[in-house]
Amino acid sequence: MKKSRNWLLRWAWRSVTIFFALLFLYQVWLFAHICWWVKFNPSTSAFMETRLEIMQDKNPKAALKYQWVPYSRISDNLKRALIAAEDASFVDHEGFDWEGIQKAYEKNLRKGKIVAGGSTISQQLAKNLFLSTKRTPWRKIEEAAITLMLEAVMDKQRIFEIYLNVIEWGDGVFGAEAAARHYYQVGAAQLSADQAARLAAMVPNPRYYDRHREARGLQLKTDIIMARMNDVDIP
């Protein structure tokens, strides 16, 4: 009996040790990617790969619309619109908007369901680059860890540049350049204030708005973003 108990303890200890060793190696792998992306552009993201797999299940020849453009070739209108819509305190916080999280929690509590999120641009980027679409407590913890890594290694402009290039803007449409051409047949640098505000309004549900471009409420959201654009700072 004693030998059996000792064996179980050794097995449990080894299992825990292996688990934490693998967890540590995974964090190192994540951190190495983030360090690499300080100077080099990511060619894809976990979310882009997931969407492509889903599209190719229906059509094996499906491909994403995606083209990287540098920060300087993206309209300031779009930068202002996205910060106004998604994360007004982006340039000031260190990855987490605690006031926004509190407001989202209170709103969800009143509604009795999740109707608002408090995710910052940095958190959204962390999720899009590395994580699955499944909502689990583990994913939120990992999202927070990756967010801290991004904020520690990259400046705000680099975080925002990658975000602008990898977020989803329609069915298979990713990044500012592809979105500008998909909806307005112009480059990302040529987007007007109204076009930029409309694109920012689409971000929470881009595939739906891609199919329903005259959806009720989209113009209202666009107008609200337009009114806020001049009050935000961009990196």
Q: Give the Cα-Cα-Cα angle 49, 52, 58 (nearest 5 degrees).
A: 150
C-alpha to C-alpha distance for 56 and 54, rounded to whole angstroms: 6
pLDDT at 115: 43
pLDDT at 116: 47
pLDDT at 13: 78
One digit per residue, pLDDT tens: the chain, 235 residues? 555 666 677 777 787 788 878 888 889 899 999 999 999 999 999 999 999 999 999 999 999 999 999 999 999 999 999 999 999 999 998 878 777 666 655 565 555 545 445 689 999 999 999 987 767 778 888 999 999 999 999 999 999 999 999 999 999 999 999 999 999 999 999 999 999 999 999 999 999 999 999 888 999 999 999 999 999 999 9
Nearest to 223 by CA among 191, 194, 202: 194
Question: Residue with structure tokens 């307005």?
Answer: 184
Nearest to 92 by CA among 122, 127, 128: 122
User: What's the number of CA atoms in the CB half-sphere (13 Å) around residue 183?
Assistant: 31
pLDDT at 99: 73
Do 208 and 64 meet the contact criterion of CB atoms below 8 Å apart?
A: no
C-alpha to C-alpha distance for 17 and 169, rounded to whole angstroms: 42
* DSSP secondary structure letters along 11-39: HHHHHHHHHHHHHHHHHHHHHHHHHHTTT
C-alpha to C-alpha distance for 35 and 122, rounded to whole angstroms: 15
pLDDT at 104: 56
pLDDT at 140: 85
The pTM assigned to this predicted structure is: 0.89
pLDDT at 23: 85
pLDDT at 3: 59
Nearest to 177 by CA among 56, 51, 41: 41
Point out which residues pair with 20 in neighbouring strands. none
pLDDT at 24: 84
CATH no. for 43-231: 1.10.3810.10
